[in-house]
Chain A
Amino acid sequence: MFKHILRSLAGGPVTESAPPASDAALAELGGRLGAAAQRRLGRSLAIREVDAGSCNGCELELHALSNPLYDLERFGIRFVASPRHADVLLVTGPVTKNMAEALRRSWDATPDPKWLVACGACAVDGGVFAGSYACVGPVEAVLPVDLRIPGCPPRPAEILAGLLALLETSAAPVSGRAG
């Protein structure tokens, strides 16, 4: 058994090179965010993910970001266990009515400066669940959104490109903003 572990350790990293930041995500950010956050955050980004009603497809691809091929942490981006540790709240799902309050509370618990990312088609516009009696709708119906990452679900590379864009071009101070 140890032979196998040793072989894996000696085999060198399998991580692939980072994808380029997506143009669409960059353009979206340009209008919304300044360029000051790099100083504020010191090139590290702590993300608290909140599933506000997704089908779990987005979660699968967010998990994939941590596998050795994408290895999100090498960019200084990491998923944290509490909104109190987070710079970014990354939200998936069409925000069910049963989750809206938990989502608001998670946002309130996130310290400034903070950004909100809507990840996946449902979070962006409600997706196939738009119009349901049980769903509020897109994340922006509940909270102000700084970045939208489309896709059903977005591929890991697309999520990564969006997050890199947020990191590299962000951001304006959030305090005092509506919401």
Chain B
Amino acid sequence: MAEERSLRQVLERIGAPVADHRPWPRHTVDRAGWLSLAGMLRERPDWGLLGLWGEPDRVHAALRDEGDGEAGGAVAVVSLPCPDGRFPSLSAARPAAIRLERAAHDLFGLVAEGLEDTRPWLDHGRWEVARPLAAEPGPGQPPRPYPFLTSEGEGLHQIPVGPVHAGIIEPGHFRFTANGETVVRLEERLGYVHKGIEGLMRGRPAGEAARLAARISGDSTVAHSLAFARAVEAALDVEIPERAVWLRALMAELERLANHLGDIGAICNDAAFAFLLAELGRLREAVLRAADACFGHRLMMDRVVPGGVRQDLAPGGVETLRALVAELRRRVPPLVAVYDGKTSLQDRTVGTGIVGPELARRFGAGGHVGRASGRGLDARRSPGYPPYHRLEFQVPVLTEGDVNARVWIRIREVEQSLSLVEQILDRMPGPPQGLDGSAPVPLAALPDGRGGEGMALVESFRGEILTWVRVAPDGTVDRCHVRDPSWFQWPLLEAAIEGNIVADFPLCNKSFNCSYSGHDL
């Protein structure tokens, strides 16, 4: 009975395991195996899609058996060689695959058979090459008109917005179809900030590629650096110094705090309540300054690297961070009370931009978007990574799925992160002692002459990042794929705005705060 089988059992039956893939298995299947897996996905809603990416001659999909109680998350990668450049689409079973398959076509020329939406996604007809990451790239294609989806009916009109928006914001295009003030359809067109990061990473030493990983999305620089570092460390089977593990978590929680504080204020500002933006902007600034004092960079860019961390906590850092936590514990609750007590603000956030739990599950949304819509997954807990298995924290979950729920998830996560920072400061091992009495930075050297494949799942403030990497024996990156949580959240914004008024779009958009750069890569 197929229903009784776990994902791993199925893959072991239909696929051949690939050596040197850590920490989760990768299986190569043939076309029949891939097709049967696609069929099973329809019957197994508990098998979540974590990512789908191409290589010149094959396609990979990462899956997670959410029903499997196994510690470590029962994650697996399945690969299909496609010598003719074609593979059966998974989009009918997992709509989250649609944009990933469109991207795989733009970058590698891989054709997803059965994919309904075959419009280019990242390729706007502006590159000098087509299929830039394929074995044999072709000449660039000139720009062609992009046919937006239509909505027809009496009194409907379209509002095009972007790529350059009115505020200080990343570029993307939104096409609203509205009836008066009411939005009947929103369609996103992204790809404007595609920088070719996966192409740039190829052939670079892992340490150098880490600088690119740190700039996939500046607001998640610690989390993306951590995901890349953990993937490389998995590929090379490297143990990193214990203190580095704790410093990484410390930086990740500071990043989460800064982003959530800033975003809560910005959401309120989009509901015309500027007081909370000003107050929470001050607190975000306090976090960034503490990060600067402790790690020498306000966003902590390039601090987390394969092998450990590049910089230890500055002298006095523990005291700085304890004072920061004390200040935030004092100042945040009154501001939360203001948010909770202001009915004109609640009027804008409650019931606005709803994403239902079923839709969130179908798109595999994580982070505050998923958790506000009933999905309690958190990569820190499942599959989990150190030091979080030794820390106490809760993963807040709500089911309303509206702007207000996404605000409250962030508020609860701020509280959890404050507790986590304290726990980390309490338990973190002291600086390592060198033989000469000095304190070397906790950073292990990467081994020479060994390659491998590794994958990591890391919880950013926005949700789960997947990074997959193949390191060549000479220590350079052969292929790296990064799936920012935004990939699975952007499509839900289109659903959230339906039936709301145009003026609520900034509010909905900010409550998601999807990354453009992280998505476009």
Contacts and interface: CB of A to CB of B under 8 A. Distances in A.
Interface residues of B, number: 53
Interface string B193-205: 1111101100000
Given A1-B337, A98-B124, A134-B132, A56 B170 contact: yes
Contacts of B127: 97, 133-134
B219 A1 contact: no
A57 interface: yes
A67 B337 contact: no
A99 B192 contact: yes
Given A1-B338, A59-B170, A102 B164 contact: yes
B168 to A, nearest CB: 5
Interface string A61-89: 11110111100000000010111000000
B128 A133 contact: yes
A55 interface: yes
Given A59-B170, A64-B288, A67-B282, A128 B299 contact: no
Interface string B111-132: 0000000000000101111001
A162 interface: no
Interface in A81-110: 81-83, 93-94, 96-102, 106
A58, A81, A96, most chain B CB atoms within 10 A: A96
A64 B285 contact: yes
Given A1-B338, A54-B193, A96-B192, A131 B217 contact: no
Contacts of A153: 218, 299
Contact of A98 (B194, B219, B278): B194
A96 B212 contact: no
Interface of B: 124, 126-129, 132, 163-164, 166-171, 191-197, 199-200, 211-212, 215-219, 221, 262, 275, 278-279, 281-282, 284-285, 288, 292, 298-299, 301, 334-335, 337-338, 341-342, 515-517
Given A4-B338, A56-B218, 19 more contacts: A1-B342, A14-B282, A50-B164, A51-B170, A53-B192, A54-B170, A57-B301, A62-B168, A64-B284, A68-B278, A68-B281, A81-B166, A99-B171, A99-B193, A102-B163, A102-B171, A129-B196, A155-B292, A155-B298
